[in-house]
Amino acid sequence: MNALARLDSHLKSRLEDLSKAKEHGHKIIGYAAGGFLPEELVLACGAIPLCFIQAGDNAVLRNSAAYVCRWFDPFWRSQVGYLTSGKDPYYNIVDLIVVPITDNHVRAFSNAVGFYTPEMRSFVFGVPHVKDKVALEYYRKGIGRLRKELEDFTGAEITGSRLKQSIELCNRERELFRNISLMRKRRNVNVSGRDFVALHHGSFLADKEIMIDILEQFIKEADDDDPLFSGNAPRILFTGSTLARGDSKVMDILSDNGGIIVMEEFAEGIRPYRNMVQVEGDLIARLAEAYFMDRICPGWFRPGTERLDFLIELAEEYRASGVIWYQLLYRESYKVESYFFPGILRKRAGIPMLVLESEYDAMETGPMKTRIETFMETIRG
Amino acid sequence: MGSYYDGLFSLCGFEHEEIEKERPRIEASFEKLGIGPGDMEAACSRVSRYHDVSLEGVRKLLGAWLKELIDLVLAREDGRKIVYFGFPAILGPGLMLCASSEHVFVSAPDMVLDHTMGQIFNKLGPILEAGEANGLPPGHALCSLWQAKIGGIAKGMIPVPDLALASSYYCDMGSKADDLVTALYGVPIAYIDGIMDSEWGEYPGYLPERVHYLGAQINKAMEKAEKVLGIKIAPDAWQRSRKNSQPFRDNLARLTEVMKADPVPVGLAELELLEALSGSSTGRGIQEGIKAMNILIHELEGRVEAGLGIMEKGAPRIMVRLGHTSDPAVTRLYEDAGLAVPLTYILASRGGVAVKPRGNYGTPGEIIAEYEMTGGYYHGTEAQIRLYEKAAELMKLDGFVAQYLYNCRPVATISHIQKKYLEEKTGLPVLSLEIDNFDSRAYSADSLRTKVETFAEMLRAKKGR
């Protein structure tokens, strides 16, 4: 069985496995997407982390309309829909919901958790929007409070040695993702964007050790396999706010048109994997540095220049021939940047950018197809 | 010698001598704004129709907005360093800058354009369109205040600022649109960051680190402002600025008392004029506003004493979030439907509920941050909704029109929750009304009328039983 088939098989039985784990006293900690919750803390108290990453189903958006108005990012409205409808079984199995609050879209979800599901234990902490020493300290205090909450909730102390072990485990996972990603720098690429994204999405739900095993197997198979794409395929840097599990429309159309995603940069839906967490000294401080300070900021940080500069670096490093900027409707931070970034990109990297927008509506597929086809033709020259 | 605009300025509370003194500045600013003789009849008619100009205080308030507009448009020619902030905003930093140098002009230009180019001249449309054409397109629920600000700059009506104070503690759109101003015009930004990460049920409590963080961000922004503007913020700037603006806050509290009367002595359009001024201006507008309010409150006390009001006694009393900043036809909608509006959320948050900071903080930033955290506006969704709940008893309300601004994410978060919460906690009916409070092109008075009238009928029937 190849690595991706193994992942599928593992996820098929995952809910059953989680139920059994609960029976054995393990707590399941669900958390909101965005990459600001250090899973290490959850693992270090013997609990199981699960990230809510499912979206893309328009019917769930309709469910959310009874709880929140339409003018929020459809990914976060979907989370409200899943939370209140029970249509995502992962929401039904968790014992505690943790929401790291980044912007107002996440806050709308956090309000829904607090107001509509008071019976569900929840915990929130804030993520500052600027990077400086005071902001780092604020984030550090937030995850410090989370540590205490997890200890109180699970009854297990997060000792230094257990935390170190968890960090090493998560570092291994990050390292493997980084190695897979680096393979795509080659001229003849042997990892598809869809597979890489599927691994990420799987990793938000899978058992950590099994996931690491799957990633190792994937690397071995990819090394052994023939290249999937020839050197002439348009190389696309794929970026945006959120890439949910269940939202593959753009990737499918791109692939059908012979394009290859050589790099993804998303705030939600792709695990931050470029930086390792150091394992010396105050480990909570090391987690804060890696998860907040060292991480390339999402679009809602102010200013957004760190991320925009990074996109240009990525475009050059991975020899991208174009950027597809995929934003979800009403996520204003990305919408505003999408106005002025194409000019900067063209000037500094000499490549074009296509802006696509979605509200998880099937009707978008036709126009999106036309636009992507045209963009690919433009790139091919 | 008089000019074509004298009639309008008289209607807006200017004395003859004031017009004479201001004349060159009026003409210079009107030229930039594209206002001419052809605009006067409509402006006079609009002001008379939608505002209670029988009250001298109201006329003076309109005048205060016009003075703020003139100062804004001519700030560069006046040789002043210009600082823009977004609305709503923590006003303390702007007030401190003003208290530190008379050469600094600090304003929320979008609100000034809304209240003058919108409310008085009905010429906001092209400004909004210019904003849409310069990075903030329609159809994406982007903030129309920001469209006005970018549009005003793009059309050369208002100057490019020297510094932007970004309200990163409330609104994602505002800070990101400040990034747009930097990308388009190279304006430096001082971000004042904060995080509304309240747990549901936490208010009125808050974590001390929120005060420390927001306070440190304010202090950092002030340091940046000193560098960019080349000024020194005096150690007592915070105390002096509080002293200068305290009469405005005191007046808002006095006004809340006056508005407890039945019938209510003044309409929402007038409340909107003054409560918005307190959140938009740090200079002449606010000082003129204080004088206007003194006159207005005295007039209103006279009305209350005589048992006079703008609605009939016993009219259903509702609370709304705020009046429309650019289109008084929308603001008038509630009273046209027979509803009295004794209180708005803005009035309640600025003048209606006593603020009692609990801690002992040393820096101006932390002192300001603690005021804001206690007041609730920047605390979180629950704090905002609970202010409505408190008002029900205070103002003897019969219901709420819980407006939520579709293109303002921090306000839209309350969309459905506030209706359910308030109905459960107060037992009063709540109309949840989706609106754009800054641009009435899509959410016009006519489009909202049916909902408000039906709600009013229901309240009357309920009260009659």
pLDDT tens, position by position, A354-370: 999 999 999 999 999 99
pLDDT tens, position by position, B208-234: 999 999 999 999 999 999 999 999 998
Please state, in angstroms and rounded to a whole number, the distance separating the CA atoms of residues B380 and A2.
48
Contact residues, A window 141-160, toward B, CB-based 8 Å cutoff = 141-142
- Cα–Cα distances (Å) from A275 to A44, A200, A266, B174, in that order, read 20, 16, 15, 30
State the count of interchain CB pairs (< 8 A) between A and B.
Answer: 152
pLDDT on residue B2: 87
Contact criterion met (CB < 8 Å) for A115 and B409: no
Phi, psi of A279 (to 5 degrees): -115, 25
Q: What is the CATH number of domain A24-161?
A: 3.40.50.11890
Q: Which residues of chain A have pLDDT under 50?
A: none
Nearest-CB residue to A104 (from B137, B409, B415): B409
When pLDDT is averaged across residues B362-374 and rounded to a whole number, the result is: 90
pLDDT on residue B283: 85
* CA atoms within 13 Å, Cβ hemisphere of A25: 5
pLDDT on residue A381: 84
Best probe of the A interface among B149, B200, B206, B389, by most A CBs < 10 A, is B200
Instruction: Report the Cα–Cα distance between both ends of chain B, in Å, rounded.
Output: 61
Contact residues, A window 302-331, toward B, CB-based 8 Å cutoff = 302-304, 329-330
Least confident of A185-189, B48-52, B271-275: A185-189
Is the pLDDT higher at B88 or at B302?
B302
When pLDDT is averaged across residues B258-273 and rounded to a whole number, the result is: 97
Q: Compare all CA atoms of chain B with the CA of A66 and give the residue at the minimum distance.
A: B416
Count of CB atoms within 10 A of residue B442's CB? 12
pLDDT of B355 over the 60 cut:
no
**Mind telling me how many Å the CA of B409 is from chain A's nearest CA?**
6
Least confident of B183-197, B222-236, B281-295: B281-295
Nearest-CB residue to B195 (from A118, A127, A344): A127
pLDDT tens, position by position, B426-440: 999 999 999 999 999
Yes or no: say if A185 and A235 are a contact pair by the CB < 8 Å rule: no
- Report chain A residues whose CB lies below 8 A from the CB of B141: 71, 330, 332
Confidence bin at B353 (pLDDT 50/70/90): very low
Nearest-CB residue to B200 (from A115, A125, A138): A115
Region(s) of chain A under CATH 3.40.50.11890: 24-161
Is the pLDDT higher at B238 or at B448?
B448
Chain mean pLDDT for chain B: 94
Region(s) of chain A under CATH 3.40.50.11900: 192-380
pLDDT of B358 over the 90 cut:
no
When pLDDT is averaged across residues B305-320 and rounded to a whole number, the result is: 97
Contact residues, A window 102-131, toward B, CB-based 8 Å cutoff = 103-105, 107-108, 110-115, 118, 122-130
pLDDT on residue B356: 64
Contact criterion met (CB < 8 Å) for B135 and A107: no
Please state, in angstroms and rounded to a whole number, the distance separating the CA atoms of residues A28 and A47.
6
Confidence check on the interface: ipTM exceeds 0.90, yes or no: yes
Phi, psi of A349 (to 5 degrees): -115, -10
Best probe of the B interface among A302, A329, A335, by most B CBs < 10 A, is A302
Q: What is the pTM of this model?
A: 0.96
pLDDT on residue B239: 85
Phi, psi of A5 (to 5 degrees): -65, -35
Contact criterion met (CB < 8 Å) for A104 and B171: yes
pLDDT on residue B238: 86
The CA radius of gyration of chain B, in Å to the nearest whole number, is 21
pLDDT tens, position by position, B378-404: 999 999 999 999 999 999 999 999 999
Please state, in angstroms and rounded to a whole number, the distance separating the CA atoms of residues A242 and A268.
5
User: Which class is A192-380 in CATH?
Assistant: alpha beta
Count of CB atoms within 10 A of residue A46's CB? 16
Please state, in angstroms and rounded to a whole number, the distance separating the CA atoms of residues B44 and B120.
8
